[in-house]
Every structure is written in C-alpha cells, then in structure tokens.
Amino acid sequence: MTHPSPDSNLIRGHLDLILLSILKGEPKYGLEISKLAQERTGGYFDLRVGSLYPALHRLEKQGFVHGEFQPAPRSGSPVKVYALTESGERELHARRREFEVFTQQLGKLWQLGGGEA
C-alpha cells in the first residue's frame, strides 16, 4: 500500500525516535538505515542523507549511539556503523512512551471533533 509522503516537519520532529528504533538490535551503517526505513514502512519514510547523517552525529554526540568505522560488507571501503548504547536504549524506551501518550491524547482530541481525523 502506498502512502503519501509525510510532512517534512513530522519527520524532523520524530527523526531521533525513527533512528533509535531502526538501530535497535544489530549495528547498521547509514545506507542500510535508510533502506530499512523504506522497506519497513513501504516507502513512507525516505530518509535523505542531508538529514540522516547530521541526526546520527547528533545522537552520537549525545551518547545515544556509538559509531565505529568498519569495512563495508561488499566493497571493503570503511563505513561508519552505528549501534545503540545503553543510554540510547533508555532514550528509545522513554521516547516510545512519550510518543504513545502523545498519540493517545491526540486521539482524544479527534474524538471531541466528531470522530474522523
């Protein structure tokens, strides 16, 4: 199913949550992160290099992810691979809870407005 592209402000406001969610589990490099976002969402999230890498660097600076250069799977050229840190796991959990509360409260407003959003 194809969805319209989300408003860029929505992506920007939730990019950290998106990236932390994708990085849960195995470490991943930038292109892999972008591809997984597209695959898992049927193309809804199309993370551009111009926003992806600055966000990863910011998360790394905050201590939520750890980046390390490793040989690329095919070419052997080094790529930076990102993994969640322990504080990143805690941050992901906190942001998921915050997002769940936000969407629940937004749902209550929709109910006030007559049902459909």
% of the chain surpassing 70 pLDDT: 91
Look at residue 75 in the predicted model and tell me its pLDDT.
75
Mean pLDDT of 75-92: 94
The hierarchical CATH code for the domain 8-112 is: 1.10.10.10
SS3 of 46, please?
coil
In the β-sheet with 28-29, what is the strand arrangement from edge to edge?
28-29, 78-84, 65-71
